[in-house]
Amino acid sequence: MKRLILLASMCLGIVALAPVASASAAEDACEIAGSAELNPHLNAELKHTTFSFTAKPGTPCVVSKSTLAGASVNGEGELSCPAGQNIVGLNGSVSGEGTIQRSIDASAKHFKFELVATAGVVSFKASGEVTGGGAAEFLTHEESVKKCASLNAGNLEFTALVAGTF
């Protein structure tokens, strides 16, 4: 039930973030599962952190009925287990670059992104060859929750939903 409520919340977040695209653009929505490497490891202290996320291939895309061939992001910003610096009341940004490729596409699409991280949930907005957004979470991954709770998170499993034009 907890996972269903979280998934429904993430879907609503994606609908709110996904822009209206031209009729000729390829709109899709994909589920992305993978892991993020964080350096230095996250704890309760807000500190400059670099991260890279790599998706596991083969997860489904809804509109194109394809699967995800690959996705990755790299970025940096002020992060901690409880939050990212760009949440309400704090300054700065958490941003980076990435690529995404569906099994039906010949090449990966490149994008830039900004994100907001709060208590295990990340909302992001993409621009460039990919426009749209989504939400990612590690709260349904027991080991990731334990790592943040022990204030030593160097690798976190995430599940994300992304919707937009790519």
Q: What is the pLDDT of residues 12-45, one digit of tens each?
A: 344 444 443 333 357 999 999 999 999 999 988 8
Q: How far apart are CA 143 and CA 13, in angstroms?
A: 25
Residue with the bigger pLDDT between 87 and 65: it is 65
C-alpha distances in Å from residue 75, one per residue of 5, 15, 53, 62, 154:
29, 24, 9, 27, 15
Residue with the bigger pLDDT between 67 and 83: it is 67
Mean per-residue pLDDT over the chain, rounded: 81
Q: How far apart are CA 107 and CA 19, in angstroms?
A: 22
| pLDDT tier for residue 4 given thresholds of 50, 70 and 90 | very low
Round the CA-based radius of gyration of the chain to a whole number and report it: 15
Helices (H), 99-152: 142-149
Mean pLDDT value across residues 73-98: 76
| Residue ranges of domains in the chain | 2-165
Mean pLDDT value across residues 102-130: 89
pTM above 0.85, yes or no: no
Tell me, what's the pLDDT at 45?
85
